A and B are shown apart, each in its own frame.
Chain A
Amino acid sequence: QSVLTQTPSGSGTPGQRVTISCSGSSSNVGNNYVSWYQQLPGAAPKLLIFRDNERPSGVPDRFSGSKSGTSASLAIGVLRSEDEAEYYCAAWDDSLDGWVFGGGTKLTVL
């Protein structure tokens, strides 16, 4: 059971906008920055969003992050076939003094 809650799966068609949600508590999402990772099969996670809504260099601007209270979201503005992957949210947890992750959302591009 993951500390952060994500919907296990989602889907969309190319060109569509999709949103992935992440729910936590006051000790993690509510009080600390949220990061989002994309993981392709057999690869290490790749950082898409840090500090709730900032993109590392090289990440397309169709990826965006937002947060309100103890919930966060990752939006993919124009879905592409190569976006089919697993997506994880993560946040520092003050009570646990460590990182906590969501269980992951498997995104399928139809």
Chain B
Amino acid sequence: QGQLVQSGAEVRKPGASVTVTCQASGYIFFSYYMHWVRQAPGQGLEWMAYIDPRAGTTNYAQKFQGRVTVTRDTSTDTVYMKLSSLRYDDTATYYCSLMSSRDYWGQGTLLIVSS
């Protein structure tokens, strides 16, 4: 059974950056794109980006273009999501997910942006 394990909660000041990690196990890492989805408190789900783990190619939602960078390390089956120039409204839980019939989601990483 596969799983995605994310890094722990973070607190950052406005303008700072944060990197959230997602380590995959139990399935072939190259077989599925990895997506990032976030959820602000009391709000709905919002897709942010994906990466093709094999090629390393990425695509970002227009809303996050220029602020988000997704990379991967194929030696450790880990995907990284860096969000820069943080704003208060980036406070949310961030999930990595395969967004496929293989219903693998990370446990979520809470990011709080506060001065």
Contact = CB atoms under 8 A, between A and B. Distances in A.
Interface of A: 2, 35, 37, 39, 44-47, 50-51, 54, 56, 88, 90, 96-104
A50 B101 contact: yes
B108 interface: yes
A98 B61 contact: yes
Interface in B35-74: 35, 37, 44-47, 49-50, 59, 61-62
Contact of A54 (B46, B95, B99, B101): B101
A100 B47 contact: yes
A41 B112 CA distance: 18
A47 B62 contact: no
- Give the interface residue-count category, chain B: 20 to 34
Nearest to A6: B44
B105 A97 contact: no
Interface of B: 35, 37, 44-47, 49-50, 59, 61-62, 95, 97, 99-101, 103, 105-108
B108 A103 contact: no
Contacts of A2: 44
Contacts of B106: 44
A44 B46 contact: no
B50 A101 contact: no
B32 to A, nearest CB: 13
B103 A104 contact: no
Contacts of A35: 99
Nearest to B49: A98
B89 to A, nearest CB: 15
Given A44-B95, A45-B105, A47-B101, A98 B44 contact: no
Given A39-B45, A56-B103, A98-B47, 10 more contacts: A45-B105, A46-B103, A47-B103, A50-B100, A54-B101, A88-B44, A97-B59, A98-B59, A103-B44, A104-B45
23 contacts: A2-B44, A37-B45, A39-B45, A44-B95, A44-B106, A44-B107, A44-B108, A47-B101, A50-B100, A50-B101, A51-B101, A56-B101, A90-B45, A90-B99, A96-B61, A96-B62, A97-B59, A98-B49, A98-B50, A98-B59, A99-B47, A104-B44, A104-B45
